Structures are given as C-alpha cells and as structure tokens.
Amino acid sequence: MTKFPRNIYSLSAKEIGKKLLNLELCPIDLMSFYLDKIESYHFTSPYIEVFKTQALKNATLSKKRILNNRSLDLLDGIPIAWKDLFDISGYKTHGGSKLLINTKIAKNNSTVVQRTLAKGLIPIGKTRTVEFALGGLGTNKNYGTPENAVITDTPRVPGGSSSGSATALARNMCALAVGTDTGGSVRIPAAWNKLYGLKTSYGKVPTQGVLPLSKSLDTVGPITKSVEDLNLIYSIFSQEKDHQQLNIFNKKILVARGTPCSNLDKEIEIVFENVLSKISATGIKIDEVILSEMEDMYKMLSELGTLVTFEAWNQWKHLVSKNKEDVDPNVLNRMLAGSTVPKKNITKLKREQIILSTKLYSKLKGYDALIMPTVPILPPKIKEVEEKQKIYNKYNILALRNTSIGNNLPLCGISIPYKDSSLPIGIMFYRKLGEDYSLLKVVKKYDKIIN
C-alpha cells in the first residue's frame, strides 16, 4: 500500500498528479483511498452512485500508462466526481428527481466527461443535486441533503445546486469535482465549503449530454482546491488555448457596492472589508461604486420574473405538471412561479440583458476584476429551511443574489475561499464574458494577496 503524504487532504489535484507521475503515489491506491473515505462516511453521502468496480479498472489502466511513460496528462489517474446531471455511459442520469427514475441508461458520455476521459481522469461517481438543479441552498427532500462540510455544530445546508460535488471534495472523497452553474450552483457550494469554484463564460464549455435547466444560462464549471486546478480543468473542458495576453496587471479593482454588499452577515462584512484592506496595502487601487446596470437588472428580475424559472418550467412541465406530488415542494414552488411569467417579460429581459451588459463591460475596462462577497449569508440549518417555506425562500433568494447577477448580466466568475477564517466565506471575482483565462490569471494573483 502506498504511504500517503500527511498533507494529502490539502493537496491540489495538480500536486497529486505530480506525485502519480513521479511514482510517489499509485493510482490504484489513490482510488482505494477515496473509495474507503466514501464507504466509511455514515451520514447522507455526497454521492448518489459510486462507480467502484469501473473506477478501480480505470485506475489499473492509468497505472500501466504511467509505468510505461505513456501518461495521457498531468491529471491522468485523478478521481473526479460528477454532478448527477452529466451523462456517463452505462449509468442513468437522475437530476435529483423521482420523475427521472425510469430514465434510460446513457449510451454516450457528455462532451465534457469524454474530454476528461481522454486525459485519463477517472469518474469516481455521481453526486447529489437539488432536483433539476433548481435551488441555491442544496436541499433535496426526496434524495437527501449532504451536510455542510465546514460548519458542523448542527446539520447545515451545503449550497446548491452542486451540493454533492462540493461536499465530496471538501470531505476528501475525490480530488476534483464538477458542477453546473445557472444562477450560482458552482460558486455557492464552493464558497460554503471553503473551495474554489469557476462559473465559465456561457458557451465556452459544451453542455451536450448535460441535463438542462435553463438553456439560455446553463454553464459547466469545476470545483477545486486551488486556482491552478481551475485552470487545468477549464483548459480540458473548453479545449481552448490561452490567447488572452495579460502580462501587465492594471493594479485596479472595482468593488460593487449597493445591493451586492447589502444585508451581509456581520462575519462576512468583516471579512470582506479585511480583504479590501489586504488588497489596498499592496498598492492596488480600489474603486467602490454602485453599478446602475446591476441595480437595474435586480429590479427587473424582481418585477418581471426570472429567466431561470421560466425556462425551467418550460423544460420540465411535461413531467412536473402531471406529478406535482413527487416533486420537492421548494423546487415545485419555483417551477410554478416560472409558469406564470409572460413571454413578453422574458423578451424584455433578454433585450435589456444585452443593453445593460454592454454598458457594464465598458465600465469594467481597465480593472483587473469586479469584486464582491460570493454569498451574503452563512449556511442556514437544514431543518429550518426544509420545514418552513418562507424561510427557505428568504435564504434561497439571498444565497443566489450575488452569483445570479453574473448569469443574468453574463460574466465569468470565480469564488475563492477566505482561508484565515474558520467560517466558509467566499470572495467573488468577475470579468466580462469570454475572459475566462484572464480571470484565472487575475484571481491567481489576488488569491496570493488574500490568502
């Protein structure tokens, strides 16, 4: 048996990959290590299905490649967890819903799964999600809710909808995890479990073979333990070369005051101001503004309804309308809200989205990034939000507030953890749509300042 390094839990996937290539770790032992962690966990598992037999077979193949100097990539042999929205050949995709229990076994892999397989990454299992991925808290009354991995005083929500992916990684049951982000579903669970989460630019990563929620907003994104891991997996997902030259930083950052910094939990407010102090101490200029484009979009979403719920209802109404009693009440409530949104409202939202985002992009020129707290609140108790609809709605709206604006005014975004606090508090960085590689470079620099 491989002697695992004492700091195995803190190692990034890149660091583990280097140890595999240097024969300091064996892919089979590594996979067995994670499988043992999964099997020994006695609470609601982050996984809905574990691919034990196939994962060990793939680990054996990875070992042979490495020993023969034919490794497919630096991440060859790395166990990766997939949200139960991604088609993986030989397995069903349930999307956290009873309504899809009889769905057919997938014959093909989703595009992003196939791209990681080509690099030697090994799917270890499928992780839990909010039903149809419609929810920011991470709860699922039908399939169970994995508990937050950081605050353990009482069972608290993990963040959603990629709840299982984040908690699997935070509990060291994989080395990388993948989710989807339509309104914050990668960044919220990443923040609430002290991890890194990337919301990719819409259209940069293919969603073929991924169960849809809102086709106008759905994105695929990784959850990791480092910015470098985000960069590695993004390059595999997108298959794009980095042509974004960012050799000279602007040394200016824009803080979104107004709504994104309102109603913060006191602990989050203190951390965010401390982060700004750390940045300012390096000589970087901080401009603090209320962005009218964001404020206008928040107002329209409140008055007109949301594109997410409108498209979610139209995507799944053929099942939901006939089986309401089998749908998680919190998800059903939002679905039904989407059913009442007039199409003319959506037409107006899409038109204003283009106008407002164009103005916002202009304001972001010359800045390294736009920054705000990822989530304005700390994770609430599971029991509290599952028992009372009003409390669920209140916290769900707050949880999604700062992340969803980056979907509705399309941006690429990264949440990084504030490591000096024992609490799970995320700091979010935004750049304009399509500047994912530039964002990754910027955040790598600012992560060193903040952490």
CB atoms within 10 A of CB 241: 8
Q: Alpha-carbon distance 196 to 14, whole Å?
A: 14
Among 185, 201, 238, 438, the active-site one is 185
Closest CA to 169 of 297, 232, 82: 82
Q: Measured between alpha carbons, how far is residue 132 from residues 35, 200, 214, 383 in Å? A: 27, 20, 10, 21
Cis peptide bond N-terminal to 214, omega within 30:
no
Among 62, 71, 97, 161, the active-site one is 161
Does 278 qualify as catalytic in the annotation?
Answer: no
Residues 6+ apart with CB under 8 A from 69: none
Does 83 qualify as catalytic in the annotation?
Answer: yes
Torsion angle defined by CA atoms of residues 430, 433, 437 and 443, in that order, rounded to the nearest 10 degrees? 0
Q: Taking the CA atoms of the chain, what radius of gyration do you get in angstroms? A: 21
What tokens appear for 194 in the block? 């002290």
Q: Measured between alpha carbons, how far is residue 8 from residues 25, 71, 123, 228 in Å? A: 11, 22, 19, 17
Closest CA to 134 of 272, 338, 440: 338
Among 14, 19, 63, 83, the active-site one is 83
DSSP string covering 49-109, please? EE-HHHHHHHHHHHHHHHHTT--SSTTTT-EEEEETTB--TTS---TT-GGGTTPPPPSS-
What tokens appear for 307 in the block? 């594109």
C-beta separation of 290 from 402 below 8 A: no
Name the residues annotated as catalytic. Answer: 83, 161, 185
